[in-house]
């Protein structure tokens, strides 16, 4: 399998060539040249596989530069009941008739990002050892991504993590999770500023190509293809649990921000998984809902991006969205020309774009529908799910469930992806149902551990210096 860029660079690259990369050199995102097709016989064979072996089968279709035995070992080391809480890894929980939650948040940081990040940790360590290289991962986080990255990379050989977070602005839970890590390769830098200051510093450091090369700076952001690929697996796992034969269809509802999670569902559907609808749910930051209803994509500035009670979906610009547009336009050289125009000059000069009516009409054949959920919707959904089903859900999952209920079809199970657990967002839960979720077992004891973090001013120069002084062998 080779990979190409959504903006036309077709230099043949294998999976391991792009594993440690961010954007393609032309500014596009990497995608496979084609989506392998999964036939009914293969689906039947996969039905009975354990999650780790299912992951191995799916990854094998996209990775031909890691020996099969090694890849299988990495998958089995990642997806264990010990790390993810159950043998099923992503079990279904029934709600009202025909509606299920698919639990993706039973990993170490209680959010679905663990599903991909834990595998990424294994793949990075393996590939760096094979090359005899090191990598210094630099990131900015307001909470979920940083903790998932740190728990995936802690103790891994050849990898150090430098994670910037806004000092005093993460939730107490997130601070306890990240700052209690005692691993020598994890560096928490609490920046005196807001999240945007952290992100600006990461950009400034990454734009210094000399520094980036000499210090071997890398990232783990959501455009990484390996992260997307890891997420494809649970769509198959959910389908197998909700159906008994391959002539049945299911739909998925996905709380969306950067379009990474639902893009993996799109990939699964392109491979032939019988998905009726991919229901995209946004919060008040509904740039994507707007696109799927109107064909116009208008990313917003930081100033227009609202702070909501489902903060992991508070994005202005959906970083993975370009992948879907490239596929919608035909996934070929002509599509790359148009994608390059839309996400290059059109975005830069017009601040957005509108696809043609003919292009817009194709969206239906990709199964996408969408909707927006507000703070009031989240509270009402959390409350009704608690009162009627006795199930406590978090604010992001509530956005998904709210929009899912608008798109139910008789006879088609609806799987709502549970992207985080309630204790991460306890204040909103209390607002909805008048009680706080019990603190998770994962947190027990963390509070009493010494905290490891360094407070720094929002200075690019000082943070570069910190990295330099902590990477000297």
Rounded Cα–Cα distance for residues 278 and 377 (Å): 20
Is residue 113 a contact point for ligand PLP (CB under 6 A)? yes
113 given a catalytic annotation = yes
Member of 118, 221, 224, 256 binding ligand PLP (CB under 6 A): 256
Cα–chain center distance at 189: 23
Is residue 260 a contact point for ligand PLP (CB under 6 A)? yes
Is residue 111 a contact point for ligand PLP (CB under 6 A)? yes
Structure tokens at 269: 């559907």
Rounded Cα–Cα distance for residues 292 and 371 (Å): 9
Q: Which of 2, 113, 156, 464 is catalytic?
A: 113
Member of 138, 419, 423, 458 binding ligand PLP (CB under 6 A): 419
- On whether the CB atoms of residues 259 and 287 are closer than 8 A, the answer is no
Nearest approach, Cβ of residue 246 and ligand PLP (Å): 27
DSSP sequence for 143-185: SHHHHHHHHHHTT-TTEEEEEEEETTTS-HHHHHHHHT---TT
Among the residue ranges 64-72, 259-267, 268-276, 327-335, the one whose residues contact ligand PLP (CB under 6 A): 259-267
Dihedral over Cα of 310, 315, 319, 323: its sign: positive
Member of 178, 276, 420, 442 binding ligand PLP (CB under 6 A): 420
Q: Is 293 exposed, middle or buried (0-12, 13-18, 19+ CB in 10 A)?
A: middle
Quick one: 259 or 292, whose CB is closer to ligand PLP?
259
Q: CA–CA distance from 454 to each of 164, 166, 188, 416 (Å)?
A: 10, 12, 6, 39
Member of 91, 107, 255, 265 binding ligand PLP (CB under 6 A): 255
Is residue 312 a contact point for ligand PLP (CB under 6 A)? yes
Is residue 261 a contact point for ligand PLP (CB under 6 A)? yes
Is residue 142 a contact point for ligand PLP (CB under 6 A)? no
Among the residue ranges 12-20, 256-264, 331-339, 365-373, the one whose residues contact ligand PLP (CB under 6 A): 256-264
Instruction: Go through the chain and tell me how many residues it has.
Output: 473
Quick one: 125 or 284, whose CB is closer to ligand PLP?
284
Report the candidate in 231, 277, 294, 295 with the shortest Cα–Cα distance to residue 258: 231
Rounded Cα–Cα distance for residues 11 and 81 (Å): 40
Is residue 308 a contact point for ligand PLP (CB under 6 A)? no
Quick one: 241 or 312, whose CB is closer to ligand PLP?
312
CA angle 349/355/356 to nearest 5° reads 125
- On whether the CB atoms of residues 260 and 115 are closer than 8 A, the answer is no
Among the residue ranges 8-16, 166-174, 253-261, 403-411, the one whose residues contact ligand PLP (CB under 6 A): 253-261
Nearest approach, Cβ of residue 380 and ligand PLP (Å): 19
Is residue 278 a contact point for ligand PLP (CB under 6 A)? no
- On whether the CB atoms of residues 159 and 189 are closer than 8 A, the answer is no
Which of the residues 207 through 226 are near ligand PLP (CB under 6 A)? 222
CA angle 78/439/112 to nearest 5° reads 35
Name 149's Cβ contacts closer than 8 Å, sequence gap at least 6: 117, 137, 139, 141, 161, 163, 220
Name 344's Cβ contacts closer than 8 Å, sequence gap at least 6: 7, 27
Nearest approach, Cβ of residue 400 and ligand PLP (Å): 8
- On whether the CB atoms of residues 378 and 347 are closer than 8 A, the answer is no
Quick one: 240 or 259, whose CB is closer to ligand PLP?
259
Report the candidate in 85, 86, 116, 90 with the shortest Cα–Cα distance to residue 102: 90
Is residue 266 a contact point for ligand PLP (CB under 6 A)? no
Size of the residue set binding ligand PLP (CB under 6 A): 16
Nearest approach, Cβ of residue 134 and ligand PLP (Å): 28
Quick one: 15 or 259, whose CB is closer to ligand PLP?
259
- On whether the CB atoms of residues 173 and 423 are closer than 8 A, the answer is yes
Among the residue ranges 251-259, 327-335, 369-377, 465-473, the one whose residues contact ligand PLP (CB under 6 A): 251-259
Member of 114, 144, 327, 377 binding ligand PLP (CB under 6 A): 144
Is residue 396 a contact point for ligand PLP (CB under 6 A)? yes
Member of 72, 165, 177, 258 binding ligand PLP (CB under 6 A): 258
Catalytic residue numbers, as ranges? 113
Given the rule CB under 6 A, which residues bind ligand PLP? Answer: 111, 113, 144, 222, 255-261, 312-313, 396, 419-420
């Amino acid at each position: 399998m080779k990979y190409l860029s959504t903006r036309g660079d077709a230099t043949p690259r294998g999976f391991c060539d792009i594993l440690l990369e961010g954007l393609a050199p032309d500014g596009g995102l990497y995608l496979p040249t084609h989506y392998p097709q999964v036939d009914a016989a293969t689906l039947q064979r996969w039905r009975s596989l354990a999650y780790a072996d299912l992951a191995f089968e799916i990854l094998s279709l996209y990775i031909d530069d890691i020996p099969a035995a090694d890849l299988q070992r990495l998958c089995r080391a990642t997806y264990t009941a010990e790390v993810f809480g159950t043998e099923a890894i992503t079990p279904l929980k029934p709600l009202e008739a025909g509606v299920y939650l698919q639990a993706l948040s039973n990993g170490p940081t209680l959010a679905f990002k663990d599903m991909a990040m834990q595998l990424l940790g294994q793949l990075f360590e393996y590939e760096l050892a094979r090359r005899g290289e090191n990598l210094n991962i630099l990131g900015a986080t307001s909470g979920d991504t940083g903790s998932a990255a740190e728990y995936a990379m802690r103790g891994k050989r050849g990898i150090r993590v430098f994670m910037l977070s806004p000092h005093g602005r993460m939730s107490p839970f997130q601070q306890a999770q990240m700052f209690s890590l005692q691993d020598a390769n994890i560096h928490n830098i609490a920046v005196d500023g807001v999240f945007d200051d952290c992100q600006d510093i990461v950009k400034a450091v990454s734009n210094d190509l000399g520094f980036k090369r000499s210090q071997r700076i890398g990232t783990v952001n959501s455009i990484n293809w390996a992260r997307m690929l890891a997420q494809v697996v649970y769509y198959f796992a959910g389908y197998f649990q909700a159906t008994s034969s391959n002539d049945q269809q299911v739909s998925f509802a996905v709380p969306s921000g950067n379009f990474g999670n639902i893009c993996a569902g799109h990939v699964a559907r392109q491979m032939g998984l019988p998905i009726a609808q991919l229901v995209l749910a946004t919060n008040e930051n509904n740039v994507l809902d707007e696109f799927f209803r109107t064909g116009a994509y208008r990313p917003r500035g930081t100033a227009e991006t609202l702070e909501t009670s489902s903060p992991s979906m508070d994005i202005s610009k959906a970083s993975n969205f370009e992948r879907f547009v490239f596929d919608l336009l035909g996934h070929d050289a002509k599509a790359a020309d148009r994608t390059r125009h839309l996400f290059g000059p059109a975005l830069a000069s017009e601040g957005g774009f509108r696809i043609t009516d003919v292009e817009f009409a194709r969206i239906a054949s990709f199964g996408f529908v969408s909707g927006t959920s507000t703070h009031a919707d989240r509270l009402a959904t959390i409350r009704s799910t608690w009162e009627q089903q006795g199930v406590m859900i978090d604010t992001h999952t509530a956005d998904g469930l709210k929009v899912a209920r608008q798109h139910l079809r008789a006879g088609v199970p609806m799987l709502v992806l549970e992207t985080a657990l309630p204790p991460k967002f306890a204040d909103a839960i209390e607002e909805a149902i008048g009680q706080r979720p019990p603190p998770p077992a994962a947190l027990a004891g963390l509070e009493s551990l010494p905290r490891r973090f360094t407070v720094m001013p929002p200075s690019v120069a000082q943070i570069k210096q910190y990295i330099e002084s902590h990477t000297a062998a």
